[in-house]
Structure 1
């Protein structure tokens, strides 16, 4: 009946498919592709968003040269790299341990599985605000705990240039370790049981089974977790903006915070667009390398 109706209307299956897909493609072009090309165009101009009626001059690659020659940008990139490496490393370790724990059945398994997932269900801006008050030196719970154990009750973690980067690493790890755990837990449950049975027949120890069976089979899932968290952490903004706003000084000013300040505080739109394109290329390059490595892992 449906085929007769389509034929009577003069629509083939392919035409009908395009009829449904076309609105999605148009939305994708409108909200993703067009802004990307518009940003690329602006990166070659001296356009300022707070002066939309002013003359816009074509400056070529001058914005890119200024970005790459700016020492402050490289400091922001170093802060971003520090945040990326430590947060992802901690999330992998803790996520793996939690996945190994939840892969075994025990009493209250469902309750603890749900409780562990709660942090990742919160909005990053809410998490940043909550932890900011938690670290507040005057009435924060963190300082109360420090004072209870005999430490300095006026300790300011967010105001210390050495400790404030670790504060955002701690908060990001608290929030996103459950996400990594979910990915790794899916990997653990996809490992065929006969591999462990064969290892037991060979009288392999638990440590040997982990290194010879679990870890090799989990490698694709670990690579995926690193890829997803790298992409997300590279563009991390709202959590850090609420927690430290890049301070003290510029010690926690990640590349995303720098981009916001250039675009919406200094209104150097062309310069900020060049910085955005450089960050996009960096993320795309890292993702491409990771995906190629993932393909090699799957072919083994």
Structure 2
């Protein structure tokens, strides 16, 4: 091999050594983060799956840990109360997400007009989303008070009834709607931001062409605005649906699942099984069932979303 060939060979060897060194350095930086994520997320999940096949009950820790197979899953799926809780959860998700999407999309249409004071009012609308759920829960608990709550007086003024007759958190009929109102008040701005991104992504020349064709504003909305913003609306529904399905803090702060079990969603049932009855094996199995349910429904919904985006 001639001298030029030896030089090229040494150059390639140096590049390979430098490339291997770069990859090694990259792994040295990334490996601690990956290890931390595995320790925080993967290990608890694997441990929970293991416990779901056992009879572990922390209130009777003196008993030996016994493998029970699929008994926990069978007990949950054959429990009529569990199905009632899942039905309550589904009703809450549908009502809350529907209200958030309707109001959020309406606000997005309004904010998209860029009127005077646009930035100020956008910031005001976004304020509820920036608050802690604990703060929001306590704030609305005060507003819902029958004697001094401002919400009851406003409703009484609009309906002409006595304010003390509105027991928003203690009435079987009104308590679910009380939670829906609070959740929508807090998270409608989030839906508005996603819808606003969809509206801002629509090119102006499409509206200009529609105006040349003398299309009315109503026609432009149904033929241009809504179809082109639909993927963003569906994305907002996906995000809020997942979050509302596993929502716990707001319900726990406002009603604790009451009155009776009217507002007892699946997360409240899971908390009671895990931290009140201390049925660790049973609650682990219930958590897995909820995870599989949300994961499966989300996958089906994402496929529908991809079909809409591909049109």
The reply to whether TM is greater than 0.5 is: yes
The answer for unaligned runs of 5 or more in structure 1 is 1-5
* Aligned mates of 2:73, 2:221 — CA distance in 1: 48
* Aligned mates of 1:59, 1:19 — CA distance in 2: 42
Larger CA deviation: 244-253 vs 133-142: 133-142
Correspondent of 2:300 among 289, 293, 296: 289
* Aligned mates of 2:155, 2:183 — CA distance in 1: 21
The answer for unaligned runs of 5 or more in structure 2 is 1-14
Larger CA deviation: 11-20 vs 230-239: 11-20
Structure index of larger Rg: 2
Within 5 Å, give how 1:69-88 maps onto structure 2: 69-88=78-97
Quickly say closer, same or farther: Cα 1:9–1:48, change in 2 above 3 A: farther
- 1:217 alignment partner in structure 2: 228
| SS at 2:55 equivalent | coil
- 2:216 alignment partner in structure 1: 205
How far did 1:179 drift? 0.3
Correspondent of 1:152 among 136, 157, 162: 162
Correspondent of 1:162 among 173, 177, 196: 173
* Aligned mates of 1:154, 1:184 — CA distance in 2: 38
How far did 1:173 drift? 0.6
Residue 66 (structure 2) pairs with residue 57 (structure 1): yes
- 1:3 alignment partner in structure 2: none
Larger CA deviation: 126-135 vs 49-58: 49-58
Residue 140 (structure 2) pairs with residue 140 (structure 1): no
* Aligned mates of 2:28, 2:59 — CA distance in 1: 40
1:238-275 Cα distance to aligned partner (Å, 9 max, x none): 11100000000000001001100000001011111111
- 2:11 alignment partner in structure 1: none
1:181-228 Cα distance to aligned partner (Å, 9 max, x none): 000001100111111112112111111111111111111101110110
* Aligned mates of 1:162, 1:147 — CA distance in 2: 17
Is the contact made by 1:146 and 1:152 (CA closer than 8 Å) also made in structure 2? Answer: no
Aligned length: 296
* Aligned mates of 1:44, 1:103 — CA distance in 2: 53
How far did 1:11 drift? 5.2
1:71-111 Cα distance to aligned partner (Å, 9 max, x none): 11111111111110011111100000000000011111111
* Aligned mates of 2:200, 2:294 — CA distance in 1: 30
1:40-96 Cα distance to aligned partner (Å, 9 max, x none): 111111112344454110000000011111111111111111110011111100000
1:260-298 Cα distance to aligned partner (Å, 9 max, x none): 000000101111111100000011011111211222122
* Aligned mates of 2:255, 2:219 — CA distance in 1: 44
What TM-score, normalized by structure 2, do the two folds share?
Answer: 0.91
* Aligned mates of 1:22, 1:166 — CA distance in 2: 47
Correspondent of 1:262 among 269, 273, 283: 273
Is the contact made by 2:169 and 2:259 (CA closer than 8 Å) also made in structure 1? Answer: yes
- 2:136 alignment partner in structure 1: 127
| SS at 1:17 equivalent | helix
Is the contact made by 2:55 and 2:281 (CA closer than 8 Å) also made in structure 1? Answer: yes
1:1-54 Cα distance to aligned partner (Å, 9 max, x none): xxxxx9999952222222221111111111111111111111111112344454
Is the contact made by 2:168 and 2:174 (CA closer than 8 Å) also made in structure 1? Answer: yes
